[in-house]
Structure 1
Amino acid sequence: MRVVLTIAMLVSTAHPALARDMLVSDQVQYKAAVKKAQPGDTIILGDGEWRDFQIVFTGTGTAAKPITLTAQTKGKVLLTGQSNLRIGGQNLVVSGLVFKNGASPTDEVISFRRDSKTLATDVRVTEVVIDGFSKADRRAEDIWVALYGTGNRVDHSHFEGKTNAGVTLAAIRRAGDPLDNRHRIDHNYFGPRPPLGSNGGETIRIGTSEESLSASNTIIERNIFDRTSGEVEIVSIKSGGNVIRENLVLEAQGAFVLRHGNGNLVERNIFLGKGVADTGGVRVINRDQIVRGNYFEGLAGTSFKSALSVMNGVPNSVINRYHQVANARIEGNSIIDSARITLAAGADAERSAAPTDSKFERNLIVGTKGQDPFRAEGEIGGIALAGNVEAKVAKPLLGAGVEQREVKLERAANGLLYPTDPALAAVGAPRDLKPVTRAEVGANWYRGDTPEAAFGTGDTRPLTAGASLAQAVADAKAGDTLALAAGTYDIAAPLTVQHRLTIAGSKDAKPVLRVASSFAQIEGGGGLQLENVAIDASGASGDGALIVVESGVAPNYDVALAGVSVRGPGKGRLNGIAMAPGTFADDVSIKNSDFAEMGVVVAATGEQEPKGWYPMERLTIAGSRFARVAMVADLLRKGTDESTFGPWFAMTGSSVADSGMDGASLRISGAQHADIVQNSFAKSDGIVVIHSVGAPETRIASNAFAATPSPRIEELAWKGPPRGLIENNVEARP
């Protein structure tokens, strides 16, 4: 017996206790469990809400026996409020957690380091969810997943709904830290990310320019990027030796961009744009890049957002500008039903170094609606063309190396289009591409919430004159419509709109909303649609705005006015729609409406930072009338950064009379797209369009001007003559 006990004691001393599962129910218990965790142990967070929990997970496991932090039940442990996670050590695993209903109090939600000295090595984060965990002010920057150290993996996780500045997932490479990262980012679902309205909205970034000439050797594979449209760089590669393969990109505005660093491989990815504006593919910069075997279909982007673009560089470029493309290999790709392939993209006085020693071979090209997608913005003699086939176009840009022929396509079992002609079997994307499916990626136990109900999808609630509109708004649910009977409704204080809500006059009735100051204030998650109502603000006090979006409102709201008439207290007083800095509208539209005796109808100049913030993605005005207003719209986007899609501005079929201030009745500054067509301006100040960034598209056409100055385009950065199309406008009698 003594011998047996002695042996047992020796074994116990030589080998720690067997792996333990430690269930904890509060933060104190968690901290105690971390301190005593040994290789093979699992710390289990009890189901429920863990609010304001800044988790620090450290330890040293082994490859065979990692230390694990997980949920009691996957998906039922919610990290809310001011919560985050820092991981430091080796051979650790985190799984099953959900970050929701809050935002990190720091610059990172999940950080693969405890501090600057304790990085993560061989750590895995799997089946973790971050959903809408965004700071309220979109200008407040953070990174949802920050990869430090080496050999780490992020897989089968779900990331959706980031609306503030900062990369969704970034590999951070700093001088003094290991730069040969060898991270793996695979089988994740990157869900919808709306446009940020500034630079800094990437979904993935590997490195930064400072350390970009070294290799990260990170792999990004078999992920889904679903409407990840934060900015023009969906994936931004700023290091070398990375592999981006077999990802599926769905209706995502922007492109995979080889921004800095050399020797990266982009292969066997599938990009499906479905004709959505600004959907792109791959942009090539720097040396020794390989883009092969990819499939691009239905991409509507042009210029930097083309299905394929090869950029011009800057001679002797500094590290953070554009290095010349050299020894690029672009081969065996299919570009189908796509708007553009841009070569020597961005060529200008600064970016004058054309691509060199590069090859464009065995690619299949089928343009949109039989058009030639090729554009050359500079010299392309350094790109050798061979073995490419293009569906026949009337006037092809390229000759030798791009064969023009009839191309018939059929969908294969994998859902992709291939030529029916066996002679073209070796041209274009491989036949064995296998699109990654939704079931393969993300946490299979999690699906995001149903999106906020759209306008008009909820209940219709009738209201009679004299009823409290304020109470009805407070009681309304997302998507509801308040149908107002004829009569007058007094608005003593601004209505607070917290959901997407429609306020509309009932059929054959145009109720009058009599406003004492502001009409409505939109709060987080809100949106307002007004239809067939008259707003009487002639007695309104103060110089604010009818519809106000205050600071701190979550971005990506909508405002839509249709059949609305507004009479204000006098020209230059009481603006129409005004949004504070840090807020952002997806869409503002004014259709078939009338405005008189007021200030700026759309006052959108709150963003004054030079970084390039702007207040709305799209502003559309159609069939509307403006009389004695300070301006129809004053829209501002400052800065010269080229990483955004908008603003988009359109004004058609509208009239402006006796309006204007500071020399303009309509002032659009920094828009990427401005279309001002078939309007009339009488006894008013003129149209001023100011170009500040990129290659803006401006058209001012078929308008009538009576006692009104001719439209003017100003250039803030471009050194040549003003760009844009001004044509077929006429001078009319007042």
Structure 2
Amino acid sequence: MWQKIALCVTCALLLAVYACTDGGLTVTSEAELKQAVQQAQPGQTIVMKNGIWHNIEILFQADGEEGKPISLVAETPGGVIISGESNLTLAGNYLVVRGLVFKDGHSPTGSVISFRKSTTEYANHSRVTETVIDRFNKTERFESDIWVTLYGKNNQFDHNHLVGKMNQGVTLAVRLDTEESRENNHRIEFNYFGPRPVLGSNGGETVRVGTSHYSLIDSRTKITNNVFDQCNGEVEIISVKSGANEISGNLFLESAGTLTLRHGNGNIVENNVFLGNKKPHTGGIRVINADHIIRNNYLSGLTGYRFGGGLVVMNGVPNSPINRYHPVKNVLIERNTLVDVSAVQLAAGADAERSQAPSDTSFNENLWIATEPMGETFTAYDNLDGITFSNGGVSGLTTSIALNAKDTSVTKNAEGFWVADDHSVGAKIDKAPVSLEQVGVAWYPKGDLRPTLNSGKTVSVTAQAGMLEAAIANSQPGDVLALAAGDYMVDRVLVVRHPITIKGVAAKELSDLTTKIQFTRNALFQIEDGGSLRLASVVIDGSAADDSAGNAVIRTTRYGMLNNYRLELEGVWVKNLNINHSFSLLKVSMSTMADEISIRNSRIESVTGDILRLNVETEDLGIFNADYVTLIGNTFASVDGNVVTLYRGGTDESTFGPHLLMQKNSIVDSGKGARNAQKSIALLEGVQVVDILENSASQSGNIIAHSRVGEPVYSIAKNTFGESTLKVSYKGVPVNVSAEVTERE
């Protein structure tokens, strides 16, 4: 009792403006917070009052003691919202931060949470826990920052929730650029790393430990018992660029990419579970450098290939510079279980530069399982004399690689995990090492909670003047606007700020459609950041559009987007895009990314520009504008430009896309306009996956595909191209791909 009285007397004397409670000193403003931090003593707790703290840069610089940390906490977990241009910096010793939520804003600096004030002032023995960062992104897609930057030593980042990083930059990074931050013994554990969408560029890692410049230094960071849920930013989910780290007990859920040992030596990867559930590009573990142990991991349903495969052992560069690929040496890969993994790549990346094959690398007591018929899982790109296989087990899998594995009886347990009946091979894992309930915070929902197309209510719209414009302006995310039959004349650009569907009266034939939209401006729709658009069963007629060059039916905002969008056309008839030259269906701006652009069962005709113009990222930095482009069952007629122009320049290897699927389309009298220099119907640069199947073309131009990077996959079959030709090249060398042959480069 006397201690409580003394504490409150002290509070009253030092900080009369604060409320003193058993829970600590409660502060209600930035000024009070600064004064409280300056006067804080070991063992003291500073409580931030619930509410929105806007435009606040919190400097938490103080010195607690072992067993008596200084804590900065929310009044109630999740009750303190940090918004606007805000961030948090820790410096000192034995500090704890708990219960804050960063959302509706961005950091004005390079980090949202930093464990360093300056190059000489670090946080040590400090902890951030039960804190949320939710879409706290820079306003521009390629303005880079790092959400959490760990410096100093012996720090802990645990039970936090990080979701929706959409701008360039690592979600969480451990930095080793000064002696004070090396051999740091940081612990990153029980965090929820939520969905991160495709960035479409390098710089989309979720976790990075070190950088190439300091990669031969040991970090000694432990990344344990975290969940990585749909972390799809780029090919590296976790990028290890330092030595002596432990990555264990983590769960990777449907994440496109791999845990990559990119630089550094002597790392341990064990007891992790990768569940791809056959989602595209889901991967496992990629190995580079020396002295690693990869043990007791469970990998299932992974579809990734090449650098994004289920298990990838890279070729190296002899006498490699520090930033390239050091050869794989003395690596032990033992007692792992791989189930329905599409690709195990050995000596991957072999080329004139990466010419040194792995050496002293052992596969021991691994279990290889195929529960359904699969093609060749293993691919060797170079000599494998430096890799040995011993004492393995195999069930249902055939391969040309000598695995020295015995046929093994396996059983699927109650948790859905496959185990060897005699337990002599494979991972000793019979369930996920950690659950969604054990990571992050209990009071903040997990997953991607953004609205999607067709997730809202249906709103009826009549053909009276102004009704369509009003319906869009008053719509809610996910709504479906059901247009009655009639003619809709639109006199302004319709701005799409959230997912919305516009559908007319369905008809068996496109010629029977009774819902028609015309427009008088240079565009009908503009997709803003956060918007997506679906059009179905409507006629769009461009004959009343503004008589100017470069019109578009749909365009993206010129200011770029953080959020990826979707564009879908189903059963749509678009015509008369010929009021002036270069009139296209879709034009995009720089720094915009579509998860998918899909046109199905539609007719698009009389177009003086391109149908899809996706070629504005011309700086050749590996950036592109659409991940998936899908064209199925359409008729394209009298198109002066290209049906699709899709560009990804540069030689960066950090992304999987773009992907193009053209199937069962009819292309007539197209690709021959005066401004179409290539006289092409499809102009593809750097597209990584090209499927052109069962199409017909008559009186039309050529299909031209070039690629300079990666191992692009071209699948071209059952097409009738008439006088059109197919021109494919890789790194400037023509590739012989006929219209009726599937060719894999």
Q: TM-score range by the shorter chain?
A: over 0.9
The runs of 5 or more residues in structure 2 that have no matched partner are 1-5, 508-512
CA offsets, 1:155-182, max 9 Å, x none? 0000011111100000011145431111
Aligned mate of 2:709, from 693, 696, 705: 693
5 Å matches for 1:176-575?
Answer: 176-367=179-370, 369-371=372-374, 372-393=376-397, 396-399=399-402, 401-403=404-406, 405=407, 407-412=409-414, 414-420=415-421, 422=422, 425-431=423-429, 435-448=433-446, 451-467=449-465, 468-508=467-507, 509-516=513-520, 517-541=522-546, 542=548, 543-550=550-557, 551-567=559-575, 568-569=577-578, 572-575=581-584
Describe how 1:635-654 pairs up with structure 2 within 5 A.
635-654=646-665
What's the secondary structure of 2:610's corresponding residue? strand
Distance in 2 of aligned mates of 1:360 and 1:626: 53
Secondary structure of residue in 2 paired with 1:266: strand
Post-superposition offset of 1:659: 1.9
Cα distance change, pair 271–687 in 1 and its aligned pair in 2 (3 A): same
Does the aligned pair in 1 maintain the 2:586–2:613 contact within 8 Å? yes
Change (3 A) 1:539 1:276: same
TM-superposed CA distance for 1:610, in Å, is 2.4
Query: RMSD of the alignment, in Å?
Result: 2.0
Residues 340-388 of structure 1 show CA distances to partners (whole Å, capped at 9, x for unaligned) of 2111111111111000011001000013623342211111110111001
The 1:526–1:270 alpha-carbon spacing in structure 2 relative to 1, beyond 3 Å, is: same
The Cα offsets for residues 238-278 of structure 1, whole Å up to 9 and x where unpaired, read as 00000000001110110100000000000000111100111
The letter of the residue matching 1:201 is G
8 Å CA contact 2:135, 2:165 repeated in 1: yes
| Corresponding pairs, count | 707
Aligned twin of 2:3:
none
Cα distance change of structure 1 residues 164 and 351 upon mapping to structure 2, 3 Å threshold: same
How far does residue 595 in structure 1 lie from its aligned partner after superposition? 1.4
Aligned to 1:111: 114
The separation in 1 between residues aligned to 2:214 and 2:79, in whole angstroms, is 40
Residue pair 1:272, 1:298 contacting (<8 A) in 2 also: yes
Q: Which residue of 1 aligns with 2:617?
A: 607
Q: CA deviation at 1:644?
A: 0.6
> Residue 703 of structure 1 contacts residue 729 of structure 1 at CA under 8 Å; is this kept in 2?
no
Structure 2 residue 60 is matched with structure 1 residue 57: yes
Deviation at 1:448, TM superposition (A): 4.5
How far, CA to CA, are the matches of 1:170 and 1:450 in structure 2? 22
Partner of 1:529, secondary structure, is: strand
- The one-character-per-residue Cα deviations of 1:408-452 (angstroms, maximum 9, x if unpaired) are 32214x5421123x2xx1200014665201121101222148723
Deviations 1:85-139 (A, max 9, x none): 1111111111100001111111111011112221111110000100111123211
SS at match of 1:369: coil
- Give the one of 621, 625, 629 matched to 2:635: 625
CA distance in 2 between counterparts of 1:462 and 1:391 reads: 56
CA contact (8 A) 1:367 1:373 kept: no
| Residue matched to 1:674 | 690
Cα offset for 1:725? 4.3
Distance 1:727 1:313 in 2: 36
SS of structure 2 residue aligned to 1:705: coil
CA contact (8 A) 2:420 2:426 kept: no
Q: Distance in 2 between matches of 1:153 and 1:513?
A: 58
- Contact 1:283 1:310 (8 Å CA) reproduced: yes
Find the counterpart in structure 2 of residue 596 from structure 1.
605
Secondary structure of 1:370's match? Answer: coil
* 2-structure distance, mates of 1:586, 1:418: 37
Aligned-partner Cα distance in 2 for 1:48–1:76: 6
The answer as to whether partners of 1:20 and 1:40 remain within 8 angstroms in 2 is: no
Question: How far apart are residue 279 of structure 1 and its match?
Answer: 0.6
Q: CA 1:327 to 1:449, structure 2 compared with 1: closer, same or farther past 3 Å?
A: closer
Inter-partner Cα distance in structure 2 for 1:34 and 1:242: 34
Which letter does structure 2 place at the counterpart of 1:454? T
* Deviation (angstroms), 1:548: 1.1
CA contact under 8 A between 2:330 and 2:359: conserved in structure 1? yes
Query: Using the alignment, how far apart are the partners of 1:310 and 1:297 within structure 2?
Result: 18
Shift of residue 21, structure 1, vs aligned partner: 1.7
* Superposition deviation, residue 406 in structure 1: 5.3
Q: Give the CA deviation at 1:64.
A: 1.3
CA separation of 1:368 and 1:410: change in aligned 2, threshold 3 A: closer
Displacement after TM superposition at 1:520 (Å): 0.6
Counterpart-to-counterpart distance in 1, 2:224 and 2:626: 33
For 1:342 and 1:334, the matched residues in 2 are separated by 16
**Matched residue SS, 2:568:** strand
Question: 1:623 corresponds to which letter in structure 2?
Answer: G
Partner residue in 1 for 2:510: none
TM-fit CA distance, 1:608: 2.0
